[in-house]
Each structure stands twice: as C-alpha cells, then as structure tokens.
Amino acid sequence: MRDSGNVARRKSFLGKKMFNGEKLAAELWKIAAERLHALVPENIYEQWFSSMQPLRLEGACLVLGVADDFFAEWVENSYSTQIADALSGIAGHDYEHKFEAGYFPQQPEEKPEAVAEIAAETVPETLPEFSEDSFARPGSTRVNSNYTFANFVVGEENRYAFTAARRAAEKPGLFNPLYIYGNTGIGKTHLLHAVAHETQKNNPQMVVRYATCEEILNSFVESLNNHKFGAFRSQLRDVDMLLVDDVHVLGNKEGLQEQFFNAFNALYSEGKQIILTSDKRPSEIAGLEARLVSRFEQGLTTEIYAPGLEVRIAILRGMQQDFMMRFDDEILEFIASRISSNVRRLRGALMQLLTRVSLDPDMPVTLERVEYILHSVFEEEFTSQQITVDEIQKKVAEYFNLRISDLLSNKRPKSIAEPRMVAMYLARKLTTSSFPQIGSAFGRNHATIMNAWVKIPELCSKDEELRRAVAVLERQLKS
C-alpha cells in the first residue's frame, strides 16, 4: 500500500543531497514508517517498530538501531517482507535494511522531583499480562475451561504424562520441573490447563500463571522498550506455579534465556512448581543453553505420543457432546482410522463434517459421503505419514547433484557434509523415526543426527541460500 500524498515529499527527499547520512536515514525512515503503519496492525507497529532508530545510510542500505541482537533477529524473521515493502519504490529507488544492536528508545525528559514522586505513587510499574486468559489469580482460573483432567481421554500413549501432570497438581513440587514433550496437537496444552484447574480447586490461594513462551517473549520485548525489567521479572517470579507452553521458542533467544534461567532458579529454590511443554526434548532444542538443558532435565521428563485408535474414537465421542448432532460409532471409527497424527486434525475433521452435514440434514450420513466431505483432510493425513528416510535421502541427493552413496559415505567436504546434515535434519523433522533409527539409516550413531538437528537451523540463520534449499526440499517432500 502506497501513500500518494507523500510523492512530493519523496522527491524532495532525494533532492536534498546536502543532507548527511544521518539526515537521509531519518527522512527515509519517516516515509517507510508511515507505510509500515498501513502494512501491520497498530499494536504490532508499536511493539516492534516504534522504538527503532534510523542511524545512517550505507549506500542503498538503511541501518536501523534496535535494543539487542535478539530483537533484530525476531523482527527480521517475522517482518522482513513488510520492511522490504515499506522501503521499496521510494522515489523510484529500492532500499535494503539491516539492524544494529545497542540502541534503546529515547527516555522522556525527567520531571521535577515533586511531580515524579506523585507519578510514582499513582502510576505503578506494570506491564500487560502475558494474555487475557493466561493468569490465574487466587480464587479464579483464567485458562481454558474446556481443558480439564475429567475430559482428557487417557490411553497407553499418554497415561504416564497424564499421571505425572495430575500428581504435580495434587502435590506441587513433587516433580520439579515436570517437562512434557511430544508432537503438536496431542494434548500437552490440555494437560497444562488441567493442572491449573486442579491446583486451584485443591489450593484456592495459590497463584498459578500459564503462558505460552511466545507470550513471555512478547512481554520481554515490551519490557525492553519500556525499561520495566522489574515488572517483567515479577510476572515470572511472583507465582506459586509457573506453566509454560512451547518452551522450545527459547532457542537462540539469548536475552530471554538469561531472564528465564534466573526466574527458574528463583522459583526452584523456593520449591515453586514449574511445568514446561515442548515438541522436543531439552537436549534437542536448537540454540538452548546447556545450563537450561540441565535445569529442564533435572526433574521428570516424559514424552506424550499420538493417541491410539480406541482413544481417538473416545475423543471424537467426547467432542460430539458439545454439539446437537450425533454420528454413529461406525462413522466415528472410520474417521479415527483415517486420522492418527494428532487430536487437532481429528477435531478439524469432525467440525468440517458437522458443518457440511448441517447444511443438508436430510441426506443420510454414509461412509461414502464422509469420504467425499473429508477427502482433502484424509489426503493431507496420508501425505504427512508417507514421507520416509529413503525418500528424503533421494530428494536431497538429487537437489545437491550428489549420489545417495555420497550421503552415506564418510566423505567430509562441505559440498557433501552439509547436504548430509540437511538430509538428517529433514528426516528428523518430517518422519516419526527416532534419532537412533535415523542414525542407522545413515550409518551413524544417534549423536551425529542430534548434532545435525541442532546445526542446520544455526547454519540457515547465517546462510540464506542454505535456508532456501531446506525450505524448498521440505515443500517438495510434503507435496
């Protein structure tokens, strides 16, 4: 989106050759910032872009000052396209951008002492909570009321994780920390919310805080912008129980890891319960500091697996209770037999079927009709489960113009070693094979596969060509 009212101003900007690099950068950023306001929501602009400082122009590259490297990495990964759009076509020129750490927002002028004292009394140092539904105060539960232990369907695949979570709710501190990991959509978040409910039922005065790691990250960034680290620290520490979902988001976030490490130690030393979930074991999280890996593994670590057929049927039966329409067990068993990867896809399939059937309630619900309505869901499920390590080796070898024997050899040139690590990384990401199983397929031990799992994201963050190659290969394999 372009603001035509700024055309004259842009032309004027380009004509001011007497400006130095700093003034040119400031003028360019004014124009780009106006565009960004139109490209992103207001809260996103305020959180990420309002504190940036235009430093200088280096040729056709605008250098922007930000708080730290973490801030720069996050913005680049999340909003580089929007920034590029905002900097393109300004008076016929396209500009690149880069970030420089160490520039905090300008502080307002100091108020007279008396005024400052009044302000301190009337405006406490606070930050927005992690989310509207994430903070459970004594006597109230502000988490998802649909997620309880009572409606969690237990099977052999999740029994250990369920039992551990329930014991942690009944006797906080018994397992500390409790770390639950597994693939997406199989019940980790459900268990965290259930712990919050059960804890407050048993101990109404306990302060329980649930948050996704993404919400903690956003609150941390806000504390950087507002210089209110004390408020951020209190959000993590002034609790009796801390429940953090998707803790793998901490990977490569050095500033946030430091804060989280300190908060973890403070809570642990006071006997406060900590429960974490992730899609990976602590040692598998790329960019997670060794000291945090050690802390996360010092309690009880348990894996939760995708539910079996009987559990999936029971889950579908439970989901039906929320709706007026009911399907025969034959229909539920058919859906459950075709979708085994995760509960979220099961729910999505049931919702899609309910919606379509409700539009034409007079037509009988047969297996053939269900197959027709859910064909795309079944196809997606089938595709996601058919990728094999052999196929990945073949596709990677073709992409990098190598032979499969090269990937399986002990040759160490970068032209072979790097594609080999890419194949190992994709095998772990796109298949259900374990590290030892993938190691066997490559003639390596599991530690070599774990190293590739950690190393490839690090290399991709520095090498755009490699990042693009991994993305293309992943897309091709999924299709």
Give me the mean pLDDT over the 216-236 stretch.
82
Q: Note whether 187 and 281 are same-domain residues.
A: yes
Range of the domain at 287: 135-303
Q: Encode the chain in three state secondary structure.
A: CCCHHHHHHHHHHHHCCCCCHHHHHHHHHHHHHHHHHHHCCHHHHHHHHCCCEEEEEECCEEEEEECCHHHHHHHHHHHHHHHHHHCCCECCECCEEEEEECCCCCCCCCCCHHHHHHHHHHCCCCCCCCCCCCEECCCCCCCCCCCCCCCCCCCCCCHHHHHHHHHHHHCCCCCCCEEEECCCCCCHHHHHHHHHHHHHHHCCCCCEEEEEHHHHHHHHHHHHHHCCHHHHHHHHHCCCEEEEECHHHHCCCHHHHHHHHHHHHHHHHCCCEEEEEECCCHHHCCCCCHHHHHHHHCCEEEECCCCCHHHHHHHHHHHHCCCCCCCCHHHHHHHHHHCCCCHHHHHHHHHHHHHHHHHCCCCCCCHHHHHHHCHHHHHHHHHHHHCCHHHHHHHHHHHCCCCHHHHHCCCCCHHHHHHHHHHHHHHHHHCCCCHHHHHHHHCCCHHHHHHHHHHHHHHHHHCHHHHHHHHHHHHHHHC
Q: Note whether 175 and 31 are same-domain residues.
A: no
Q: Note whether 372 and 404 are same-domain residues.
A: no
pLDDT of residue 141: 40
Q: Note whether 377 and 433 are same-domain residues.
A: no
Domain ends where: 248, 268, 303?
303
Q: What band does 69 get if pLDDT is binned at 50, 70 and 90?
A: low
- For 417-452, the pLDDT digits (tens) are 999 999 999 988 888 777 888 888 888 888 889 889
- For 78-127, the pLDDT digits (tens) are 788 889 888 887 766 788 899 888 776 554 443 333 333 323 333 333 33
Give me the mean pLDDT over the 411-420 stretch.
91
pLDDT of residue 2: 39
Q: What band does 247 get if pLDDT is binned at 50, 70 and 90?
A: very high
Q: Does residue 112 fall inside a structural domain? A: no
Q: Does residue 114 fall inside a structural domain? A: no
Q: What band does 471 get if pLDDT is binned at 50, 70 and 90?
A: confident
pLDDT of residue 242: 94
> What integer best gives the mean pLDDT of the chain?
79
Q: Note whether 230 and 349 are same-domain residues.
A: no
Domain ends where: 303, 338, 372?
303
Q: Note whether 340 and 467 are same-domain residues.
A: no
Look at the chain and report how many structural domains it folds into: 4
Q: Note whether 375 and 464 are same-domain residues.
A: no
